Amino acid sequence: MARHSIFYSMVKWVFKEIYADLPRQIIEPCECLSSKIFPDEKINKYSCMLEFHHLLPPRVDLSFHIMSTLSSMSAIELPTWWSAYLENCDHTNRNSFVNSCESRNIIKITEHDDRCHEPLPYRLPYDHFLEFDLQGNSVELGGIFQRIERIGDDNKFDDFYFFQILDRSPGFTGSEFRDELVDMHLAQLTKILGLPVQLGLMVGRGELIKLVYKSIDTTVWQEKSENYCQCLLQYFSQNFVENFRQIINEFNCIPDISFRLCLDLDLIKCLDSPRFCVEIFPASGVKEARSHKLLYLLQDKFKLEQSSVHNAINLHQELPKGHRRIPGGHSIPGCKDERIYSIAATLSHYKIEFPLDSRPKLKTYVNATSETFYT
């Protein structure tokens, strides 16, 4: 008898136990999608992310963290370059994959794997986050997120290595057609922000890539921000650079958080005002889901829409939630999958988009995790 995907069991539990009041036209496409992705069952730990758009009507997107070469997705329409791209990625063992599930920032490793592309000071592991956009009955692969693992601490040639990473990316990005000006503004960004921690291959959004950077060291930013911004003005609009500077200044003043910077760029043409977002991770997602302390602070600092904030608080009022069972014990409430012995949903982070022509836009992310009995 065929078994359900672990992801299907997880997503079904999340909606049944936490978000049962959402419309069926949101829940059913999510459950259907999750039933088509079968992760490697020897990992025993699984993670998927629910992305909530606080709009009217509401919307939920899904991301799945998988070991790409060991997962089955035959019912999913993947890009034609997918198999060839995986051959360009570096080997990841199962333990490394499990550890990466909880990583927010770039991972530093001290030695090369057998299949690592020596002597490069980074790796592109073949585990990925697959992000799907769901709107009504439409389900589309929006992006494939590639982690970038740094090896060692030397970052003085980060801009050089960033272009090597782009050369290993699939042709859809147009990286082979980059002009000199595009390379110059990418090099300048890398000198300021370092290597991205993730590279988003946004297959459902034209030829965009998403660059996700860890936050800049506060002391370094205080000392060099004026010089950095003068350099950025050569390639980006004054409004964008000023917005960028002010927002980083604000986040550097918020205690007990980590944050990441996200830029959407086109490799064919220069965007003088690219889409700019910040991901904000509370020190404790469990405490934040109960107190909303950080959310209220973000609302005050960035004038978030009151309706979005209230919607987020009401929507996530059952968080955090989780269960653990013992071998031979009763099934987890709301989850009939006998393979699962623990399951949980916790607030992961907030994301704020900062458009130049409108108010900031809020999204919230919930991380669903499960562990299975070893077989």
| DSSP per residue, 40-78 | -TTS-EEEEEEEEE--SS-EEEEEEEEEGGG-B-TTS--
67, β-bridge pairs: 127
Percentage of the chain exceeding pLDDT 70: 90
- Of 110-124, 158-172, 207-221, 289-303, least confident by mean pLDDT is 110-124
**pLDDT tops 70 at residue 107:** no
When pLDDT is cut at 50, 70 and 90, the band that residue 1 belongs to is: very low
Q: Give the whole-angstrom CA distance, residue 142 versus residue 60.
A: 13
Over 70: is that where the pLDDT of 105 sits? no
249 closest CA partner among 183, 197, 302: 302
pLDDT in tens, 178-198: 778 888 889 999 999 999 999
- Give the distance, in angstroms, between the CA of residue 132 and the centroid of all CA atoms in the same chain: 12
Q: What is the pLDDT of residue 100?
A: 59
Backbone angles phi, psi at 113, to 5 degrees: -80, 160
Mean pLDDT of 291-315: 97
Cα 302 to Cα 160, 232, 305, 360: the distances in Å are 35, 23, 9, 7
Residue 96 confidence (pLDDT): 57
Q: Are 288 and 282 in contact (CB under 8 A)?
A: yes
Query: What's the pLDDT tens digit per position in 91-101?
Result: 876 555 555 55
* pTM: predicted TM-score of the whole model, two decimal places: 0.91
pLDDT tens-digit readout, 311-342: 999 999 999 999 998 877 788 889 988 889 99
Map tokens 């794997």 to a residue.
113
Nearest CA to 350 out of 274, 299, 290 is that of: 299
What ranges in 170-320 are assigned the alpha helix state H?
Answer: 180-193, 218-232, 238-252, 285-291, 293-302, 306-315
Indicate whether 116 pLDDT > 70.
no
